[in-house]
Amino acid sequence: MKALLRVYLFSYLLQTIVSFDCPNGGFQIPNEDICVYSVTNAKSYSQAKSECQSLGGIPSKIQNIFENAFIFSSITTDFVYIGVELGSDNKFVYSDGTPLVYQNWASNQPDKTKPCTAMDPQTGKWTSVDCESIRPYTCTSNGAYKL
């Protein structure tokens, strides 16, 4: 019984001492070590990519349905750029060049004549878009635990 109490007390103290930190005003995706930044200051995709890098991240790398839902819940009325783009091998990849492990394309998408991707604020589905349009965007970065 004392051992169980010690384990409980230790885990409680550890939980209260260690916290998760999203720098630069980001929000943690619950139960994940990922920070999300929603940026309403609209930019082209290349400008958004540079801005995400200045925040220590990349355009949103959505790797599962939970992350997609979290980002979807943070957008309002405009299609927003996410970090999915047409790679050099003519396949859509994350902006860091890694293959997609999750996809949420709208019907009849992706369209390889439009090399960037935006999330529909009504459905959370992904749509291929041109990269020069000025849009809001989201960034993700790995957060950090701190004592």
What is Dmax (Cα atoms) for the chain? 65
Nearest to 75 by CA among 9, 141, 10, 136: 136
At residue 9, does pLDDT exceed 90? no
Structurally, the chain folds into a number of domains equal to 1
d(CA 63, CA 51): 21
pLDDT value, residue 139 = 95
Q: Which domain holds residue 7?
A: 2-146
> What pTM value is reported for the model?
0.82
pLDDT value, residue 145 = 53
d(CA 113, CA 86): 9
pLDDT value, residue 14 = 41
pLDDT value, residue 16 = 41
User: What is the tens place of the pLDDT at every residue in 82-93?
Assistant: 999 999 999 999
More confident residue, 24 or 45: 45
Q: Is 90 helix (H, G, I), strand (E, B) or coil?
A: coil
Give the DSSP H/E element, type plus range, for residue 73. helix 65-74
Contact of 36 with 83, CB cutoff 8 Å: no
Alpha carbon separation from 144 to 3, 22, 31, 32 (Å, rounded): 30, 7, 13, 11
CATH of the domain at 92: 3.10.100.10
Tokens of 80: 């927003």
pLDDT value, residue 15 = 46
Contact of 34 with 141, CB cutoff 8 Å: yes
Q: HSE on the CB side for 51, CA within 13 Å?
A: 21
For the residues 14-41, what does the mean pLDDT come to?
76
